[in-house]
Amino acid sequence: MGLDRRGFITFLVGGAVGTLCTPIPWKTLDDVSIWSQNWPWIPKLQYGKRSQVASVCKLCPAGCGLSIHKVGKRPVVAQGNSTHPLSEGGVCPLGSCSVRLLYRPARVKGPLKNNNGKFEPISWDEARRILSEKLSSGKAACISGDENGSASEVLAGFLSLLGSEDFYFMPSDAQVSAYTWSQMGGKGQIGFDLENSDYVLSLGADILSSWGTVVRNQKAFATRKGKYIYAGPVQTGTAAAVDEWVPVYPGQEGVLALGIAYYLLKMGKGATIDGFSEVKNFVLSKYTPAVVEAKTGVKINKIKQLAQELVAAGSPCVIIGSDFGQGSGSFDWTSGILLNLLLGNVNKRGGMVLLPEVKVVESAPSRASLSKNVLGEFLKNVVSGNKKIDVLMVYDANPIYALPQALQVQEAFSKIPFKVGFSTFLDETAVMCDLILPAPHFLERYDDAYTPFGSGKVIYSVAAPVIKPVVNAKSTPDFILEVAKSLKKDLGYKSFEDVLKAKASAVGADFEDLLSGRTKVSNKWVGQNQLRLSVEILANGLVPDTEGTFLAPVARNYLGNTTQALTPTEVVVVRDSELKGRDLYVQVNRTTAKKLGLKQGDKVKLQGAGREFVGRVNITETVMDDTIAVPLGFGHEAWDEYVRGKGDNVFKVLSVVTEKGSGFQVWNKSQVKVVRA
Amino acid sequence: MEHKEFKVKWGMVIDIDKCTGCGACMVACQAENNIAPMQDGSDKTMTLTWMLVYELSNGKPFPDHEIAYLPRPCMQCGKPSCSTVCPVVATTKDEEGGIVSQIYPRCIGCRYCMAACPYHARYFNWYDPKWPKGLDKTLNISASPRPRGVVEKCTFCHHRFMEAKEKARYEGKDPLKLPEDAYIPACAEICPTGAIVFGDLNNPEHKVAKLAKSKYAFRLLERLGTDPQVYYYSKREWVRRLADNYLSTEKTKGE
Amino acid sequence: MAKGKSCLVLPFLFGLVGALIVGWWLFPELLYSKKTQPIRFSHKVHVEDQGMSCDECHSYREDGSFAGIPTTEQCAECHSEVQGDDPAEKKFVEEYVEKGKEVPWLIYQKQPDNVFFSHIAHKGIKCTTCHPDVGHMDTPPVYYEDRISGYSKQTMKMWQCERCHARRGASNACYVCHK
């Protein structure tokens, strides 16, 4: 029987009917719809057991206790450790990014050697050999950004054994305050007992946004017993939340402090310090309300009111600090300390307290003596040839990016023949080094934080690694101990873990307890001898302003900080009034804009310190008159695509002044010329 | 659409007077819910920010100017505008607890819900998420990764509710009578000033239920009738006034 | 005409039957690829010979989640070294325990990432209602992988979940099972 056309069509119809009665069309349709959702580039979740381990954040000096949520062996999310006194379960946006930073594209993947501008991978053994050789014949120096970790102690101790005193911290309020306090004959580290204060006046220090123990400050604020007042040039996050914002020109907070001191002295307040009567006469004659009003922009009535409220408070606390955490001088701190002394709240509950130092590396100099080493001064001497350095080690710091007078820093770097960058990320400083020796991310290493600056108590926390290094990184202090051994220098410890154990026992804590997230807390204050105060420092506030608009750099943790550039996860937190595409906004109020002839969106150049900064104008009433606010943290040239080329770096136009009487470099009172671009 | 009532009604009270605009809630949310980082974050029409902190201004010139910050999650409206317009039932409000669900594989990306939401709380994946090498290893198992072409939004970290229920079951407790701190979204947990309070609005023992009754408590665009489960709190009259469209002659709620 | 008619019935039937055979027999053969587990794990040896109970490996964690298949680390509590003479065990110890790797087990009931399945919420239901009864098997069953969707043939579909929920009066709200 043959198959004709009709027969064939009937066969197909039969087939079609049959197919409809099979799973073919229905199952295929279902499967294809599922297939359409399974793109290979959409990652699959990796399941496992959930757990939480304690860690300590080292992304800024605030030393918050973290609780790292893990799935299997993978850390996934960072939350606050609710039992840690500095975080109480809270974390700042930067700390919240910490897990994801493990895989930041800019991470240094392994030891690198600079071969005429090209970085080549080398082994750790070779790195140790090269560095040991360089150190055995040359003079060494070190810059560290780790304010409160024992790693800095190891580095400083190692330098001492090499016969060098050139150990420098990155400039910070911690350093200036320590220097100022030791010059006044004081002992211990300055802290502020916010938790027990019923009246907190913050002069400059942006305590709820970026300054000091920022999360702990916020926690203390949330459970406040009384008023919080913030004096600063910009309505920051602190100004938004506190009871009152007192606008004051950038860097003039010290003058305001003396203006308040004037009224306190008039009210008969005094302090038992050497040279008091001279200081009293000086303040009463030079920092009269009219002078202070002109310098600070704060009305006389307001100054008087602040003085009265401080006196009326049971346990007032005056915090002083730079608006952006650095660049303040001994003048600012002396004025702030004087105010606290007049209020009689030093080493008092709720006041300014003095906390003891602990040191376990014998060869390391004390913090107080290290605070006298001024980085800017050192770099100046290197440039001028007064100081000859053969090897510079940089740990956890980015001085090429985060110092004013970047050109001078770069020049100093070029004068030092051999530079080593112990950096977790490929930052502006690392790329200028001859050796890049990756430090592990803090979740990959042992590390500690001893009484972060601003804390009102002694707090020691230690963290063990949460994950094995995801790149070929090696703990810097461990590496230094190896190098020391090969140079036959004995720091007294075999490993960094041993250093931490020694510190734990020095503060009277159980090491295992610390690792599990329990911190050592002590309320011990350091008793003081007779303090002294010289008028010379106090005269610095009277230096007349130069020409131009006041510049107010603004630090916010969601914009990164001086060590860590804006993180990939934080990119979406940046407001569209701060950054648009690649253009950074500078903020001025309507009155200032009118005065300068600027309109919303105008492209402007800020000129200062012989350099230029480019940005666009955003008109906002959050900035006081005659002041231009600029966010810190932009204008990166290294790192990764998440920050590179975005905006401009305000450090470029900060002008540095050497303070009389202390020799400190100060850059919190910069002024710029604003021109249309 | 019928209005469902639930025994448990998860809600938030955000104390604007405590918010410093630090952004920790936003970052915690990104990590908790597997939102991939973006290179350009300033173009807010493209970003995915389930939790977004707005800056509020009292509109006065310096020195009378005041600012405040307003963190904005999904309002989990009692009468949601979004779920009623969804043509494919990818978003509903039907589960105990009153969280508005969003099912990504079901979403067809028409974005009606985004147009309908008066709070701009919904986000569209214009692109496939881009995870830099290795970053996918930090993915949380709680939230499923989304491809491009679907809408997503804050879920009150709903997975934490599921996990809390599991734990309660393991411990032999009633999964619908969770203690106050058993289930907290990531943003509320991380907030350094404790500005975000979370709990059951129907449970008079919970802090949120008490705070929501305060005369300083308010909701956004309350008079639209969406009945949000997110309350705000501010003693500042100008902040409360910004929350709704008032006639010049009208008094602000709470005054 | 009569001849013509009878001619048309036959091709129709041929087509119909052919399609049914293709659809019900050949299509599934082609659709699913057969896979075997990376290690021939014998439940029989563990349950019958060693007398282990199911929950020694498949237990709830303290947070109420279900551990599922044990990790290599857990297996290594006994199998840190080769115990017997089974080549599968030797392979497991050498390739996974010693290298510290996880075994890429094929999960018969693997659900997509957007599903949150709580084992403890289904505690009253027998495991074998959803899972293959492997407890006494010497060789794990063959794993059929759908070539198009990539999922296991045995995976439960949403309608099955919903049907059971409806019958038992459990909620079928989206967020009961989805994330």
Residues 6+ apart with CB under 8 A from A301: none
Kindly give the residue spans of alpha helices, DSSP state H, lying in A112-252.
Answer: 124-137, 150-161, 173-183, 214-222, 237-241
Residues in C closer than 8 angstroms to A27, CB to CB, are: 27, 31
pLDDT band at A408 (very low <50, low <70, confident <90, very high): confident
* B192 with A214: Cβ contact below 8 A: yes
- Residue B1 placed within a domain: no
Cβ–Cβ under 8 Å, residues A392 and A140: yes
> Minimal Cα–Cα distance from A429 to chain B, Å?
23
Whether residue C11 and residue A22 make contact (CB cut-off 8 A), yes or no, is no
Residue B22 lies in a domain: yes
Chains that touch A (3 or more CB pairs under 8 A): B, C
Cα→Cα distances A265→A252, A282, C77, Å = 20, 11, 74
Per-residue pLDDT band for C1 (boundaries 50, 70, 90) equals very low
pLDDT exceeds cutoff 60 at C5: no
Give domain status of residue B249, yes or no.
no
Q: Indicate whether B64 pLDDT > 50.
A: yes
Question: Looking at residues C83-106, what average pLDDT do you find?
Answer: 93
pLDDT tens track for C35-72: 999 999 999 999 999 999 999 999 999 999 999 999 99
pLDDT at A366 over 60: yes
User: Which residue in C9, C72, C148, C151 has the most chain A C-beta atoms within 10 A of its own C-beta, making it the best mutation to test that interface?
Assistant: C148
Which structural domains are found in chain A, ordered by start?
5-101 (2.20.25.90), 112-168+356-522 (3.40.50.740), 174-355 (3.40.228.10), 542-676 (2.40.40.20)
Flag whether B248 is in a domain. no
pLDDT score of A95 more than 60: yes
Residues A470, B133: C-beta atoms closer than 8 Å: no
pLDDT of residue C2: 46
Say whether A7 and C28 touch across the interface (CB within 8 A): no
Q: What's the mean pLDDT in A176-193?
A: 95
Q: Is the pLDDT of residue A514 over 60?
A: yes
CB contact under 8 A, A13 and C146: no
* ipTM, 2 dp: 0.94
Q: Render pLDDT for A567-608 as a digit per residue (tens, 0 to 9).
A: 999 999 999 999 998 999 999 999 999 999 999 999 999 999
Q: Residue B127 is part of which domain span? A: 10-242
Considering only CB atoms, which chain B residues are within 8 Å of C60? 170
Q: For residue B3, tell me if it sits in a domain.
A: no
Instruction: List the single residue in C with minimal CA-CA distance to B159.
Output: C179
Give tens-digit pLDDT for A597-643: 999 999 999 999 889 999 999 999 999 999 999 999 999 999 999 99
| Residue from the list C19, C113, C150 with its beta carbon closest to the beta carbon of A19 | C19
| pLDDT recorded at residue A437 | 97
Confidence of residue C77 (pLDDT cuts 50, 70, 90): very high
- pLDDT score for A407: 80
What's the whole-number mean pLDDT along residues A206-234? 96
Neighbours of chain B (3+ CB pairs under 8 A): A, C
Q: What pTM was estimated for this model as a whole? A: 0.94
Which residues make Cβ contacts (< 8 Å) with residue C148, sequence separation at least 6? A28, A31, A32, A34, A35, C31
Question: Has residue B237 got a pLDDT over 90?
Answer: yes
Cis peptide bond N-terminal to B63, omega within 30: yes
Dump pLDDT digits (tens) for B133-156: 999 999 999 999 999 999 999 999
Closest A-chain CA to B239: A240
Interface of B with A in 6-45 (CB under 8 A): 17-24, 26-28, 30-32, 37-44
What is the distance between the alpha carbons of residues A212 and A176, in angstroms, rounded to a whole number?
Answer: 13
What's the domain count of chain B? 1
Instruction: With CB atoms and an 8 Å threshold, state whether C11 touches A32.
Output: no
- CA A386-A388-A389 angle, 5° bins: 140
- Give the count of alpha carbons within 13 A of A531, CB side only: 22
> What residues contact A352, with CB distance under 8 A and at least 6 apart?
A190, A191, A192, A193, A317, A318, A337, A340, A345, A346
Q: Which two tokens stand for residue B39?
A: 């290179």
Q: How confident is the model at residue A83 (pLDDT cuts 50, 70, 90)?
A: very high
Q: Which of residues 72 through 111 in chain A touch C, CB cutoff 8 A?
A: 72
Q: List the beta strands (DSSP E) in C24-150.
A: 32-35, 143-146
Mean pLDDT of A412-428: 96
Q: How far apart are CA A143 and CA A393, in angstroms?
A: 6
**What is the rounded CA–CA span in Å between residue A90 and residue A193?**
19
Nearest C-alpha of chain B: how many angstroms from C30?
27
Q: Which of A6, A11, A46 is the best substitution to test chain C (most C C-beta atoms within 10 A)?
A: A11
B165 reaches C (C-beta below 8 A): yes
Domain at B212, CATH number: 3.30.70.20
Q: What is the pLDDT of residues B4-45, one digit of tens each?
A: 789 999 999 999 999 999 999 999 999 999 999 999 988 888
Best to test chain B binding among C111, C161, C178 (most B CBs inside 10 Å): C178
Is B163 inside a domain boundary?
A: yes
At residue C6, the pLDDT reads 56
Q: At which residue do the structure tokens 């973006």 appear? A: B38
| Cβ contact C7–A38 (<8 Å) | no
User: Cα separation of C24 and A308, whole Å?
Assistant: 92
Q: Which residue of B has its CA nearest to C171?
A: B95
State whether A96 and B193 contact (CB < 8 Å).
no
Which of A77, A92, A249, A558 would best serve as a mutation to test chain B binding (most B beta carbons within 10 A)?
Answer: A77
Q: Which residue of C has its CA nearest to A15?
A: C15
**Token duo for residue A560:** 């990164």
Asked if A403 and A198 touch (Cβ cutoff 8 Å), the reply is no
Average pLDDT score over residue span B231-239: 96
Token pair listed for A540: 């610095």
Please state, as a whole number, how many other Cβ atoms lie within 10 Å of the Cβ of residue A222. 19
Residue A488: count of CB within 10 angstroms of its CB:
8
Test the C interface: residue of B154, B158, B169 with most C CBs within 10 Å:
B169
B231 is a domain residue: yes
The mean per-residue pLDDT over the stretch B150-176 comes to: 95
CB A423 within 8 A of CB A407: no
- B23–A573: do the CB atoms touch at under 8 Å? yes
* Max Cα–Cα distance, chain B, nearest Å: 59
Residue B254 within a domain: no
How far is CA C130 from each of CA A183, A396, C127, C156, C157, rounded to the nearest angstrom? 76, 54, 6, 8, 11
How many other β-carbons are positioned within 10 Å of the β-carbon of residue A255?
Answer: 28
C80: contact with A, CB 8 A cutoff: no
Is A34 close to C68, i.e. CB distance below 8 A? Answer: no
Q: Is C7 on the interface with A (CB under 8 A)?
A: yes
Whether B95 contacts C176, CB under 8 Å = yes
